[in-house]
Structure 1
């Protein structure tokens, strides 16, 4: 039986990769006519590309594994931020009335 690979990641991979994926996804939304349901797929593909080609270029399995985490973290961060901003605006407009 083979052991699971040891995946080394550091803080800077996540601090740089996740915001880069969010920014690139937003730029792609602006410049290319991609339907909204496919945007999370675009973020996952960007996460895989960053992880495989930059962060973990010497280990394909680690790149695939961490790429899905980068993409999912970007999707979740964007969704959370958008929900928080919309809730804040809604509560702020309710206080004015």
Structure 2
């Protein structure tokens, strides 16, 4: 039986990666006018890129694992802010 891989991550990776993903998604939404149904896929691709190539370049499994967490956090924060803004406007 193999052991689970040890994933060393830094909290600061998530602190800067999540806002970067959100900003890139907003820029893509404004410039390329992507629809709302493509936002989660775009965030996942961006999160994977940041995690695999910047945060965890030495460990592919850690990069994939943390990329899903970064993108899920960005998608949840984006949806929460969108809902809050819509409730505030109405």
Deviation of 1:35 after TM superposition, in Å, equals 2.7
Where structure 1 has 5 or more consecutive residues not aligned to the other structure, the ranges are 91-97
Q: What is the deviation of 1:85?
A: 2.0
Question: Which residue is equivalent to 1:46?
Answer: 46
Instruction: Give the drift of 1:70.
Output: 0.5
What runs of 5+ residues in structure 2 fail to find an aligned partner? none
- State the shift of 1:3 in Å: 0.5
Q: How many residues align?
A: 90
Q: Measure the CA separation in 1 of the matches of 2:87 and 2:38.
A: 25
TM superposition outliers: structure 1 runs of 4+ over 2 Å: 33-36
TM-score in terms of structure 1 length: 0.87
Structure (1 or 2) with the larger CA radius of gyration: 1
Shift of 1:61: 0.3
Q: Distance in 1 between matches of 2:37 and 2:82?
A: 16
Specify the SS of the correspondent of 2:71: helix
The whole-number CA distance in structure 2 between the counterparts of 1:36 and 1:89 is: 19
RMSD over aligned CA atoms reads 1.1
> What is the distance in 1 between the residues matched to 2:52 and 2:12?
16
Whole-angstrom distance in 1 between the partners of 2:14 and 2:45: 16
